Homo-oligomer: A and B are copies of this chain.
Amino acid sequence: MDLLLTEPQKLFAETATRLCLDHGGPRRLRALRAAAAEIDADAWRKIIASEWLATVVAESRGGQGLGALDVALALEQAGHQLLMVPLLESAATAWTMSRAEDAARAGAGLADLLRGSRLIVPATAAASWRYGGGASGVTYDHKAGLLKGSIPFVAYGGSAEAFLVAIDAGAQPVVTIVPRSEASVTVARNVDGSTASRLTFADVHVPAEQVIATGAEAKRLALQLQDFLMLGAAAELIGLAAAALDVTLDYIKLRQQFGRPIGSFQVLQHRAVNAFIDVELNRSLVYRVLAAYDAGEHHPAMVSAAKARASRSALEIVRGALQMHGAIGYTEEHDIGLYYKRAMALSAQYGGELSHSTRFSELTLEAGALS
């Protein structure tokens, strides 16, 4: 459905669509997987050159002063084309750094990030967000400047040159840059070829000049950073789900069984309609929440609603797609499996359906006035 975008947004969305189409797609993903590459370097260079990261940086800090919604337009397309680039993670880092009160602290790192010379990805509890288990097990000792503990499921940890460690829980919140060399990084591979890394900090000393924020500011930034990551992954999932639905619709219109295209069977038709409705609703939801996020008016429960629903629908759609494809869908050769596996990774990343529906309950029940 038409998103009622501004003219510059429309233009950006078109550019993003073209770039992702040119650089992404199932064939490209297979090549990356064969090479065990975590990042599509060509696509990423192109994105850096197109200055997409600058969209989320405030104008006062050299950016375009747009918002999370704008970069989500590109994330949706990246999801649609199965693109393997650290766009969400880099944008979230850039957003956070450019919003630190003390501009000087973030300055150099931010500039490096924007020009693609240093990949900095977030390391937060959101990476493995789970109700009750949300605390990532990292603590920061402000006086000593020491970081201790470990953070699992960090994305693009194989290529990152530094991490934006953001701790919102506990008595001493912090947002700080930690160079890769200071952390012990264990990289595991996901089913879709992406990676999940565990960072371990053994009493890592954080020099004051690397600290972006502390105290209440750090807590606020860390929470906003996590909301950004959840929303961005939701946007990517929407593109992915829409693409899987398209592939499936094409297939069931052609594939014959019992002398008819299988897409003429009412049960499959209604399943496809439900998928279509879900994609429509989730698109409206994610972009409405993004608009509220950019306006500084979002309720965090909305973020969990968006991620819970985007995760659930994407998985349902790829499951349905696999089933409708029959045996052919079960082969490595067929592309639908790529969508399936990407959906598994993205739906778990930054919290899955059940975790977010519990978080949603907690946030609305604690805040909720019963009318």
Query: CB within 8 Å of B: which residues of A?
Result: 265-267, 270
Chain B residues near A270 (CB-CB < 8 A) = 267
Chain B residues near A266 (CB-CB < 8 A) = 265-267
In the assembled complex, the CB of A332 is this many whole angstroms from the nearest CB of chain B, namely 31
A216 to B265 CA separation, bound complex (whole angstroms): 60
Q: Which residue of B lies closest to A268 (CB)?
A: B266
Q: Which residue of B lies closest to A270 (CB)?
A: B267
In the assembled complex, the CB of A320 is this many whole angstroms from the nearest CB of chain B, namely 14
Cross-chain pairs A/B with CB under 8 angstroms, 5 sampled: A265-B266, A266-B266, A266-B267, A267-B267, A267-B270
A266 to B265 CA separation, bound complex (whole angstroms): 7
Interface centre among A265, A266, A270 (most CB of B within 10 A): A266
A219 to B266 CA separation, bound complex (whole angstroms): 54
In the assembled complex, the CB of A270 is this many whole angstroms from the nearest CB of chain B, namely 6
Chain B residues near A265 (CB-CB < 8 A) = 266
A1 to B270 CA separation, bound complex (whole angstroms): 31
Chain B residues near A267 (CB-CB < 8 A) = 266-267, 270
A160 to B270 CA separation, bound complex (whole angstroms): 51
The 5 lowest CB-CB distance pairs between A and B, nearest first, are A266-B266, A266-B267, A267-B270, A265-B266, A267-B267
Q: Which residue of B lies closest to A271 (CB)?
A: B267
In the assembled complex, the CB of A252 is this many whole angstroms from the nearest CB of chain B, namely 14
In the assembled complex, the CB of A268 is this many whole angstroms from the nearest CB of chain B, namely 9
A334 to B86 CA separation, bound complex (whole angstroms): 61
Interface centre among A265, A267, A270 (most CB of B within 10 A): A267
A267 to B273 CA separation, bound complex (whole angstroms): 13
A266 to B267 CA separation, bound complex (whole angstroms): 6
A270 to B267 CA separation, bound complex (whole angstroms): 8
In the assembled complex, the CB of A323 is this many whole angstroms from the nearest CB of chain B, namely 14
Q: Which residue of B lies closest to A267 (CB)?
A: B266
A236 to B369 CA separation, bound complex (whole angstroms): 41
Q: Which residue of B lies closest to A264 (CB)?
A: B266
A187 to B270 CA separation, bound complex (whole angstroms): 46
In the assembled complex, the CB of A267 is this many whole angstroms from the nearest CB of chain B, namely 5
In the assembled complex, the CB of A258 is this many whole angstroms from the nearest CB of chain B, namely 12
A265 to B270 CA separation, bound complex (whole angstroms): 12
A267 to B265 CA separation, bound complex (whole angstroms): 9
A266 to B271 CA separation, bound complex (whole angstroms): 12
